[in-house]
Chain A
């Protein structure tokens, strides 16, 4: 006990990289030891996808795109939302257990526990995406775009996942209560259903359409549709070019990350 801690007021730059990884590792260990929640989160979209395909597949006809090609990209975004809800719950549990207080008393950057959570989330997201795509292909989903589109698709999915994370980080830290987080689920269902995720927007009531067309989930869905189905399908079935949807998605990501990132960090500092 003779070592004297250096009176560093600034943390070494490496802390910003190492500490999130340390926290992410802990989150993943936790998920591996108590996999029940993760398994349910990973398998239910697959079940949902198959059901939607069987139930609505025959009823909904969208010119220029098959229903399964329309649906699978939206399932990837739905995965991001559900994954986000479980990270909000995880953060609220950590606040409740006092673990976040411990982190805050340690010489680690304020962002580390949150970035760590977003990284472990991203890892689960990659798995969820892979599963949903495999299930999608099994029920008829096909890629019709160019190779470069798939690279952009991968990058955009990572960006969306990391940006939307902050919405849920802010939720978990503001409510500090896993039950309250669960109670907000209907809000996210509202965003999912009042979007183009499962049905084209023109089937919605008039007054809902402007919101449904432009809210982030719809924009993200169309970007992924355009990037998997190609430029031609984007123009005829979705209305705008691939570039439009990708740029609009990046704009939404920037807005969500800026607003909710600031809220989350503020909540974290004032816990």
Chain B
């Protein structure tokens, strides 16, 4: 449904997208995962016919976006990072306007707006100016604006950015329903959790290139470890403890001699934490503290991109 082949896009000297290829099948949900500046938004903009690739081809349902932009625009719905709706208009007025520009008649546009408002539980607020909406409601309306034209392909640039957890879950369930209706979705995100909930194919990109791709399960397998930290009570037992835990560790353990702490990566599916405590108990080593940490998005970036992601911190702070 979406075929991106060897696409390249530069802005001056900066290569934003560098020979990128990817595909999303009919009715599938593809996720573009990557840090800021990875080229996600640039790619979405090219798919939405907002800018043309310097090289390579992009097809939506077999139609080339450069040769037939008008035909492509009739098939797609775009929801960008900003809620691109008019705050002084009511929700209904916004949707009817967009519906008219999707080539619906006045009556069709009104009906489509009504349907979308019902579906997004915005019917009660339909005739209020959008500036009185909460952030979550604005986002939903923005998504709704991309739905009034009944697009076959939805392009969503960070759809859950700035949403509180409840609103995010609501959005995910809505997108899930859309996929049930056969709509193909390509979304960008910086959140592993979102990928987990929605996507059946993930393309991890960085510097405009594909770093890794596969299903979320495959992606997780590649990161299938947790980090276990154990602090022993008696520093003299540290080396013995490290030897004992060696069998559980996936790679060399980090040992902090001053603090008496051992940190190592262990396979997540083997209840390594319990095993570690049991092994140490057998050797009569007294454990003072023990923690297990599941992989974070930062771990993904470190594992696959070889460096931490600055914005993961920022996103973490923003989410509180």
B129 on the A face (CB < 8 A): yes
Asked if B89 and A30 sit within 8 Å, CB to CB, the answer is: yes
Contacts of B85 in A (CB 8 A): 99
Whether the Cβ atoms of B84 and A107 lie closer than 8 Å is no
The yes or no answer to A206 lying at the interface (CB within 8 A) is: no
A102-B145, A104-B50, A106-B102 are known contacts. Are A33 and B88 too (CB-CB below 8 A)? yes
B-facing residues in A1-42 (Cβ within 8 Å): 1-12, 15, 18-19, 22-23, 25-26, 29-30, 33-34
CB atoms of A30 and B84 under 8 A apart: no
Tell me if A58 is interfacial: C-beta within 8 Å of chain B: no
Give 1 or 0 for each of B91-134: 1 = CB within 8 Å of chain A CB: 00100011011110000000000000000000000000100000
| Segment among B74-82, B212-220, B305-313 that sits at the interface with chain A | B74-82
- Spot the interface stretch: B13-21, B63-71, B191-199, B203-211: B63-71
Contacts of B178 in A (CB 8 A): 1
A interface bracket (residues with beta carbon within 8 Å of B): 35 or more
Which of A26, A108, A112 is close to B89, meaning CB atoms less than 8 Å apart?
A: A26
**Interface contact B80-A15, CB-CB below 8 Å:** no
Given contacts A26-B93, A34-B88, contact A1 B181 (CB under 8 A): yes
CA distance A19 to B97 in the complex (A): 9
Indicate if the CB atoms of B103 and A4 lie closer than 8 Å. Answer: no
| Min C-beta distance of B44 to chain A, whole Å | 10
Separation of A3 and B83 alpha carbons in the complex (Å): 26
Interface check B86, CB cutoff 8 A: yes
Instruction: Say how far B203's CB is from chain A's closest CB, in angstroms.
Output: 21
Judge if B182 is at the interface, Cβ distance under 8 Å.
yes
Among A10, A22, A105, point to the contact of B73 (Cβ < 8 A).
Answer: A105
Q: Once the chains are docked, how many angstroms separate the CA of A97 from the CA of B89?
A: 14
| Distance to closest chain A CB from B283 (angstroms) | 61
Asked whether, in the complex, the Cβ of B103 is within 8 Å of the Cβ of A98, the reply is no
Minimum distance in angstroms from A32 CB to a CB of chain B: 9
Q: B161 CB to closest chain A CB, in angstroms?
A: 13
Residue of B nearest to A14 (CB): B103
Question: Hey, which chain B residues are within 8 Å of A102, CB to CB?
Answer: 78, 80, 84, 98, 145
**Residue among B45, B73, B84 making CB contact with A99, cutoff 8 Å:** B84
Are B183 and A7 in contact, CB atoms less than 8 angstroms apart? Answer: no
Chain A residues closer than 8 Å to B129, beta-carbon distance: 33
Q: Could you pull out 17 A-B pairs where Cβ atoms are within 8 angstroms? A: A1-B181, A5-B151, A7-B63, A9-B68, A22-B100, A23-B97, A23-B101, A26-B93, A29-B89, A29-B93, A97-B84, A101-B80, A105-B49, A106-B98, A106-B101, A108-B101, A108-B103
Q: Which residues of A contact B (CB under 8 A)?
A: 1-12, 15, 18-19, 22-23, 25-26, 29-30, 33-34, 97-99, 101-108, 112, 270-271
Spell out B's residues near A (CB within 8 Å). Answer: 45, 48-51, 63, 68, 70-71, 73-76, 78, 80-86, 88-89, 93, 97-98, 100-103, 129, 145, 149-152, 178, 181-183
